[in-house]
Structure 1
Amino acid sequence: MKPFEFFRATDTDAVMLSRLIKRTIRTSNSKDYDQQSIDLLCAIFEPERIVERIRNELIFLCFLGADLVGTVGLKRDYLRSLFVDPNYQKQGFGKMLVENMEGIARKNAISEIMLHSSLTAQNFYAALGYEYLEFQLHDEGPFILMRKGLSESPC
């Protein structure tokens, strides 16, 4: 297996990142969300809106060789926008991205991370130690508010 690398996203990554996210939403979330919800979710990740996020959040990209396989963001104490290309799911990249951000959060004295999980990803986050807080209904569809306390070092 080729080595993977993490890079901080820049404005020039917005189009590539938008394509990855929208492809992932349309493929992975289609069993849990209707077409209207998927279209609304995809609209959130147009390149112009991603540029705004890049400028206001810590966003990392994960590459395997030349292939963009995933992304994750951190805004204060919220884990945001974890997406792994459907061709690379269930290979540990999502877990690596989350653990990378948890490590950064610990270094910045963040004691717990919150997130809004899609229905599709709820079991993934639960397996990483995130606990269910509440069901929420947004314009883009239902989501699950989850949290995880961070210790000084990972378990």
Structure 2
Amino acid sequence: MTLLKFRKATVADVVPLSELIQRTIRVSNAGDYDQKSIDMLCSIFEPGPLTGRIENEAILLCFAGANLVGTVGLKGDYLRSLFVDPAFQGQGLGKLLTARIEEEARQRAISDLMLHASLTARDFYAALGYEFLEVQSYPEGPFVLMRKQLNVRL
């Protein structure tokens, strides 16, 4: 894999971040969600709403050279918005991003990390130790509530 660089997102990143997330949703989730659900989910990640997230969450970006190829966020005790460019999926980047945000959560003394996984990502998170809690329905479609107990360092 190309040399990767990580850094926190800023408002200046909103357009490329929006493009990455929407592209990933459209490609990766097409097999599990209908077009209406995908369009609704993409609208959540338009630059306007995404700007608020950048200002209120810890959002980590991953670059391969100058290209934004992955992102993950942490809001409270929720892992949020893990997305990896479809061209980089299957190479361990999602696992790496998850490990980095879990470490951020540990540093914040978060003992149980929660997430809402897409149907597409449920097995990915299960392989990383997240346990199934329940399926929840939203206007954008069904999502899977999952949890992982973290070993918090004191």
Question: Once the two structures are superposed, what CA deviation does each residue of 1:49-86 show, in whole Å capped at 9, x if it has no partner?
Answer: 11100000000100111111100000010000000000
State the partner residue of 1:108.
Answer: 108
Q: Secondary structure at the match of 2:52?
A: helix
- CA shift, 1:2, in A, is 2.8
- Residues 114 and 146, structure 2, Cα contact 8 Å, conserved in 1: yes
Normalised by the size of structure 2, how large is the TM-score?
Answer: 0.97
State the partner residue of 1:94.
Answer: 94
Superposed CA RMSD in Å reads: 0.8
State the partner residue of 1:125.
Answer: 125
Question: Aligned residues, how many?
Answer: 153
State the partner residue of 1:29.
Answer: 29
- Residues 60 and 73, structure 2, Cα contact 8 Å, conserved in 1: yes
Over 2 Å off, 4+ runs: none
Normalised by the size of structure 1, how large is the TM-score?
Answer: 0.97
Q: Secondary structure at the match of 1:38?
A: helix
State the partner residue of 2:71.
Answer: 71
Rounded to whole Å, the distance in 1 between the matches of 2:19 and 2:2 is: 23
For structure 1, the 5+ residue unaligned runs are none
Rounded to whole Å, the distance in 1 between the matches of 2:2 and 2:52 is: 32
Q: Determine what percentage of the aligned residue pairs are the same residue.
A: 63
What amino acid maps onto 1:146 in structure 2? M
- Residues 110 and 152, structure 2, Cα contact 8 Å, conserved in 1: no
State the partner residue of 1:8.
Answer: 8
What amino acid maps onto 1:29 in structure 2? N
Q: Secondary structure at the match of 1:6?
A: strand
What amino acid maps onto 2:114 in structure 1? M
Rounded to whole Å, the distance in 2 between the matches of 1:46 and 1:143 is: 20
For structure 2, the 5+ residue unaligned runs are none
